[in-house]
Structure 1
Amino acid sequence: MATATEKLLKLQSAVAGLNQISENEKSGFINLVSRYLSGEAQQIEWSKIQTPTDEVVVPYDSMAPLSEDLAEMKKLLDKLVVLKLNGGLGTTMGCTGPKSVIEVRNGLTFLDLIVTQIESLNTKYGCSVPLLLMNSFNTHDDTLKIVERYSKSNIDIHTFNQSQYPRLVAEDFIPFPCKGQTDKDGWYPPGHGDVFSSLKNSGKLDDLLSQGKDYVFVANSDNLGAVVDLKILSHLLRHQNEYCMEVTPKTLADVKGGTLISYEGRVQLLEIAQVPDEHVNEFKSIEKFKIFNTNNLWLNLKAIKRLVEDEALKMEIIPNPKEVNGVKLLQLETAAGAAIRFFDHAIGVNVPRSRFLPVKATSDLLLVQSDLYTLADGFVTRNNARNNPENPSIELGPEFKKVSNYLGHFKSIPSIIELDSLKVSGDVWFGAGIKLKGKVVITAKPGVKLEIPDGAVLENKEINNAEDI
């Protein structure tokens, strides 16, 4: 067996010959691998974990209300930049391009909604909040074409790429591209923890600082709830917090999400992967760990610059095994949330659930396309007509997995204001003007096409064939 040092030396000479990537990317990659090989993974001592106080995880409602003064608002917004993590492909939903160009509502994509939101802020307050999109090599070309659509908009839109790292062949730790896999399969983007160094390496960080910007609001482009919140921004500027993570109360659907803890005097993100096996059930309980990370992050730009230059951001490494054409591979990734412990005066804010509305699957798309939400100025807002604070739980079978198939199965999206849960399996087709209420289970037998007629009202029903309707 080669020692870690031997592996690293061999890897360094192999990486030196990869002319597809920059010197910054090469050194970032070698740095990540050497940290991984040194086994520096920080073990959490379970007994030292403390529940954060309200000073550390600030309740949203306890934050000072905003001034109504438009000039004050403009002053706040002129300090802000919005950055959307746009490196993901819509592959899980059967799409080929960037996920942010999936149509969400009224023919508008995630990106359309994001641009509309910032346009309306810039118009209302006479400010100039720029939009940054962090792409990966997977989404870069497509995004550039799409961004041209907004050339007449009142927003400065900037794109930059996150790093491109070679996948490692697990057996001998040689970069996959060195073994002839020179297409996209040989490479990977190393997770959104890469946002800090990529901002710096792209030159965007220094540009923003020279324009007098102080904070960047970072969020996933598929989280429709991640809109600019001036109350949070005002709090951060007042208290000089370098980092703020939005967290929200956990439901049983979120038990795997990372949570904030106080640990040895600092606030820290605890992910399920760091939890010792004997404590996993405790981690998943919503009694002890009541909040989880939404990945809406507010970061001080000067602090990012300082920490990147000091090489101080040593986030936990997430090993992500992959397989391509029978070759076992390893990708090493990091997450932006894990950087919280390196920033000064870092806090969490316990925000309403409405700020977390990710669309990860077609079942989420059904929620946001339905009458459960309304759309105005690019903002997707929950319909007040629903009394239950929780969203209905929706399970759609494999026939609905791809967006194109999902859309084909609905003449129009059913009304679900009064729905508690829906489970659909098999080849089920929905007519127009359908209402679903309470608990509804629809199961088509294998090989049978089950059609729900126009105007049907299904309340607390289990349907296995046309007669049940």
Structure 2
Amino acid sequence: MATATLSPADSEKLSKLQSAVAGLNQISENEKNGCINLVARYLSGEAQHVDWSKIQTPTDKVVVPYETLVPPPDGASEIKNLLDKLVVLKLNGGLGTTMGCTGPKSVIEVREGLTFLDLIVIQIENLNSKYGSNVPLLLMNSFNTHDDTLKIVEKYKDSKIEIHTFNQSQYPRLVIDDFLPLPSKGQTGRDGWYPPGHGDVFASLSNSGKLDALLSQGKEYVFVANSDNLGAIVDLKILNHLVLNKNEYCMEVTPKTLADVKGGTLISYEGRVQLLEIAQVPDQHVNEFKSIEKFKIFNTNNLWVNLKAIKRLVEAQALKMEIIPNPKEVDGVKVLQLETAAGAAIRFFDNAIGINVPRSRFLPVKATSDLLLVQSDLYTLENGFVIRNKVRANPANPSIELGPEFKKVSNFLSRFKSIPSIVELDSLKVAGDVWFGAGVVLKGKVSITAKPGVKLEIPDGAVLENKEINGPEDI
């Protein structure tokens, strides 16, 4: 992708921005440089669209079917040697604001009083105890989650696991009118800044000193995943495959369903494997991109990356991932934040692959409808792992739509005396002021709508199968 040169007007913009950023004493030199480089690339208008005619469907060599992976040798010492090469890194920069929470999303309770972070710690502790290995946990925070996370991590100080935290970069939001940083115009609070997407993980790992520390301990691979994806657990078959085949980068992909049509997909492009995001697709091909016939897989954001390769590419400033412009408004001022995604880095690594994993490795909790799934009898909890109930015949999860009354976690929890049984549910739609009693069972297709101004209570022990409920008389 060729970089265009800057126009005189854009050169002047960049020069003014450089002077303004140089005067921001809240951030490091690395962050200042990173910000300026990103803006320079953005202003130069690097080609973001791909040539549609060059896109090829990846072969099984490029996107390896999970069932063809070879398990590691059975001995405990071989598995310990394998695990001792590994670091687990969770992306922990997000706040639970969409679900009405104020702190890091990873401290929302998932099951039996345990949070995402509790479950992650339990899983890695069990692994380390079982094999005598030392797999550390790294949390990449943002300036939004850093202070809270440090307090929360205190409670694990006696656990059998090393926990390290570091911050991703902090960049100034840019005022769209003149491309100057918002903090230099008096907006010195948090709203003046933003974390530039999880593509920043590689540079921040290096800038924090963590990368060199891990390499000096003989670590070879980092498994990166979102902290809210309950399916993203350490998989020995994947790690073994990467070590044997010397793959520098691996993205876990899984078959698309109609719920995932906007998710990025892997393609072969000019001899390399590449992530194709919907934003890069020419308008006339968007429907083709969304079809699940041609593009059958999507990115789970579970990534396995070789640490030496990260060091090499960061030092060469070679990780030029596609820029995602994200316009926002702060106190009536239109601003721009430029972000990158970690998955887009795949094309810069040698011998990069995808692995087509089972859907069970993708269980994100983005909204309370997802929380309902993982808190229900559809899943059980074993040793910190959230495991799908074998009783359910349908491999797909039920589709769940909850109205705005259920959006915040606190409201969601108060509206259920207990989470209903949904093992035999296909779909659920809830709208209006609806409250659930204890021991409710939902089967087939269920739709519950409370009339405006009416409180609709589903009684304890009700069994609703293929029902449309608009009032108490329909129960």
State the secondary structure of the residue aligned to 2:205: helix
Counterpart of 2:473 in structure 1 is 467
Counterpart in 1 of 2:4? none
Q: C-alpha displacement at 1:67, in angstroms?
A: 2.4
Deviation at 1:324, TM superposition (A): 1.0
Tell me, in whole angstroms, the C-alpha distance in 2 between the residues paired with 1:128 and 1:289: 39
Q: Does 1:152 align with 2:158?
A: yes
Give the 5 Å matches for 1:35-46: 35-46=41-52
- Code of the residue aligned with 1:378 in structure 2: it is G
Q: Which residue of 2 aligns with 1:329?
A: 335
Residues 247-288 of structure 1 deviation map (CA, whole Å, 9 limit, x = unaligned): 000000000000000000000000000000000000000000
Helix, strand or coil for the counterpart of 2:180? coil
Report the Cα distance in structure 1 between the residues aligned to 2:272 and 2:154, rounded to whole angstroms: 44
Aligned residue in 2 for 1:49:
55
Tell me what 1:5 maps to: 11
The one-letter code of the counterpart of 1:249 is P
Query: 121, 126, 136: which one pairs with 1:130?
Result: 136
Alignment map for 1:64-75 (pairs within 5 Å): 64-75=70-81
List runs of 5+ in structure 2 lacking aligned partners. 1-6
Question: 8 Å contact 1:25–1:163 — kept in the other structure?
Answer: yes
Q: Give the alignment's Cα RMSD to 1 decimal.
A: 0.7
How far off its partner does 1:68 sit? 1.9
Aligned to 2:306: 300
Partner of 2:173: 167
Which of these residues, 116, 140, 144, is aligned with residue 110 of structure 1?
116
Q: 2:467 aligns to what SS in structure 1?
A: strand
Aligned to 2:277: 271
TM-score normalised according to structure 2 size: 0.98
Secondary structure in structure 2 of the residue aligned to 1:128:
coil
Deviations 1:307-354 (A, max 9, x none): 000000000000000001110000000000000000000000000000
- Residue in 1 that maps onto 2:38: 32
Residue deviations 1:33-83 (CA, integer Å, cap 9, x gap):
000000013430000000000000000001113322111110100000000
Q: Does residue 362 of structure 2 align to residue 346 of structure 1?
A: no
Identity of aligned residues (%): 83
Q: Does 1:374 align with 2:415?
A: no
The partner residue of 2:395 within 389, 404, 415 is 389
| Gap runs ≥5 in structure 1 | none
Does residue 140 of the first structure (1) align with residue 182 of the second (2)?
Answer: no
Deviation readout 1:200-243 (Å, 9 max, x if unpaired): 00000000000000000000000000000000000000000000
Residue number in structure 2 paired with 1:221 = 227
* Distance of 1:102 and 1:171 partners within structure 2: 38
Distance 1:6 1:136 in 2: 31
Aligned residue type for 2:431: S
Return the alpha-carbon distance in structure 1 between the equivalents of residues 343 and 394 of structure 2. 30
1:357 is displaced (CA, Å) by 0.1
> Please, which of 204, 210, 215 is the counterpart of residue 209 of structure 1?
215
Aligned residues: 469
User: Is 1:310 aligned to residue 316 of structure 2?
Assistant: yes
Offset of residue 2 of structure 1 = 7.0
The answer (yes or no) to whether the contact 1:41–1:317 under 8 Å persists in 2 is: no
2:71–2:236 Cα contact (<8 Å) kept: no
In the superposition, the TM-score normalised over structure 1's length comes to 0.99
Distance 1:107 1:42 in 2: 45
Picking from 421, 435, 444, the partner of 2:427 is 421
Q: Is the Cα contact below 8 Å between 1:444 and 1:450 reproduced in 2?
A: yes
The aligned residue for residue 251 of structure 1 is 257
Say if 2:454 is the partner of 1:452: no
- 2:86 pairs with 1:77: no
SS at match of 2:302: strand
